[in-house]
Structure 1
Amino acid sequence: MQYFVMSYYFMEVLYSVVNTPLVGRERAIVMDVNECFGHFYTCFDVLLTIGAIFLILGTRKEASGVTLLLIGRVIHRLFFSIWTMFFYFLFNDSLDVGSLLLLMAAKINLRDQMDWFQSKYHILLLGGRLCLSSLYIIWIDEGLETLFSIVSFGLLVFIWLGFHCKLFAYLTVIALLYHDVFSNHWSMLWGWNDTLLSIQYFSLLFCKIGGFLMLSELGGGRWSVDGYRKRSGEKWEKKGNYRIIKTQTSA
């Protein structure tokens, strides 16, 4: 799933490299600066993202890679945000952050370092789960359909609380496919004259799917309803075993 998440950043790099003159010029116009600075910023952004991708996928320093991506994202938002749509961009970027946090948690889980990074792991799961929940807020704000808004609100509550997190993460993937592919939002994927741009939007869809699939694999973590239920079950199981042992000893 990590490749699903990173495909979006790879396509960002590819699009910027292939269309460097256009991207640099557009950024210079938005920032109202000389065109040379727009090209300089584009090169800086590309190199930063490439370095982050290498650190995340090619080394064990994924935390450094994620930090680089977040720095790049913050700089990008400061320069290019439409401030009247600030909260939309905030929730949209939260999706990326959530996927990256879950990616870090998955890396820790794969390396079987849970004993060493137990607290960090559960913090990442909590942060990733809450950040991914911003997707439902965006859907509710869109007001696509009444039924879909109700479903989105239900998913928001269950994922935010971490109740049957794995199940509702899978259901979110289905809802995501419906929203981005089968509803009237399909034009965001297919309705571009630029093939690379269409592929980039597909990679963004894969990034979202990858984030929720990782959540479905990792679960809600300690700070969730599922985690509380698991701890309670283990506690009752220990009490039951203690009673059995005590009864056998008395006999």
Structure 2
Amino acid sequence: MVTKVIKGFKREIRPCILKVMPYCVMSYYFMEVLYSLVNGHLVGRERAIVMDVTDVFGYIYTCFDVLLTIVAIFLILATRKEASGVTLLLIGRVIHRLFFSIWTVFFYFLFNDSLDVGSLLMLMAAKIKLRDEKEWSHTERSKYQLLLLGGRLCLCSLFIMWMDENVETMFSIVSMVLLLFISVGFHCKLSAYLTVVALLYHDVFSNHWSMLWGWNDRLLSMQYFSLLFCKIGGVLMLSELGGGKWSIDGFRNRNGEKWDKKGNYRIVKGQAPA
């Protein structure tokens, strides 16, 4: 009885996760837009100083960035053209990095952006998964598997950043184990749930909590909270979608299906004709 209830609950909650988590991922980009709109004068001027140009150019770039992100959010959440929306976000991110990156910490930005890309790829995979699989073309099936592979590997950058922070030894070991399991797709769903727990511990319950609460600007704190939701959203979508075809879990599932087919064939073959 309890098992049936749990299975029924999983069947009900799984579509909800795939439907809700894309909004969690996009909340980060929405908060970026909101922050730029509320503090447009300050943001534009800061960007102009960094680029060593006049303030007008900084304001123009800020308006361009806001419009690009708004269009991308609309395409991702309100249409079936999520690939175009993600492409726009990536274009905006590349332009931003070219203008404002501190090249001495290039690898930090690289891994940080890889994490964002991983969440976006999982979002695209979730949007495809919610469609009727009967409508999938061969190209979409291959695309879906590639998205799972790319999203899974990009999300692994989270563990690399953790290990680079010189955190507690135990947490470093956990990060290394999760990195190994998720990168190869071994018990991917369980590893994803454990990653959410580790993420909450790292960002909320450890010394890093000041990145969420320690700002005088409440809007900036909300932006960092939305970044946390973005990470959690990407990992939870991984927990529901799994590692995909190109993972150890996928290989084991294919082998299991082959053995089931062979077993059924032997049963049918061994039955005496009526």
CA distance in 1, matches of 2:204, 2:97: 27
User: What residue in structure 2 maps to residue 38 of structure 1?
Assistant: 58
Which residue does 2:129 correspond to in 1?
109
Letter in 2 for 1:123: L
Q: How does 1:76-225 map to 2 (within 5 A)?
A: 76-113=96-133, 115-116=136-137, 117-225=140-248
- Deviation at 1:113? 3.5
> For residues 156 and 240 of structure 1, what CA distance do their matches in structure 2 show?
36
Give the letter for the 2:112 counterpart: N
Unaligned ranges ≥5, structure 1: none
Give the C-alpha shift of residue 34 in structure 1.
Answer: 1.0
**How far apart in 1 are the matches of 2:272 and 2:115?**
55
Q: What is the alpha-carbon distance in structure 2 between the residues aligned to residue 77 and residue 100 of structure 1?
A: 18
The Cα of 1:250 is off from its aligned counterpart by 6.9
Out of 4-13 and 106-115, give the one that drifted further.
Answer: 106-115
Partner Cα separation in structure 1 for residue 81 and residue 272 of structure 2: 52
1:23 lines up with 2:43 in the alignment: yes
Letter in 1 for 2:169: T
For the residues of structure 1 that align with 2:182 and 2:132, how far apart are their CA atoms? 25
1:248 aligns with 2:271: yes
TM-score between both structures, scaled by the size of structure 1: 0.98
**Could you tell me how far apart the structure 2 residues matched to 1:57 and 1:209 are?**
18
Superposition deviation, residue 119 in structure 1:
0.6
Structure 2, gaps ≥5 residues long? 1-20
What is the aligned counterpart of 1:63 among 61, 80, 83? Answer: 83
* Alignment equivalent of 1:226, drawn from 249, 256, 266: 249
Paired residue for 1:6? 26
The residue type paired with residue 242 of structure 1 is: Y
The aligned amino acid for 1:8 is Y
1:94-147 CA deviation, whole Å, 9 max, x = no partner? Answer: 111000001000000001246321111000000000000000000000011111
* Alignment partners' CA distance in 2, 1:193 and 1:206: 21
Distance in 2, matches of 1:237 and 1:113, equals 23
Report % sequence identity: 80
* Count of aligned pairs between the two proteins: 251
Superposed CA RMSD in Å reads: 1.0
Code of the residue aligned with 2:56 in structure 1: it is C
In structure 1, C-alpha distance between the alignment counterparts of 2:93 and 2:192, rounded to whole Å:
25
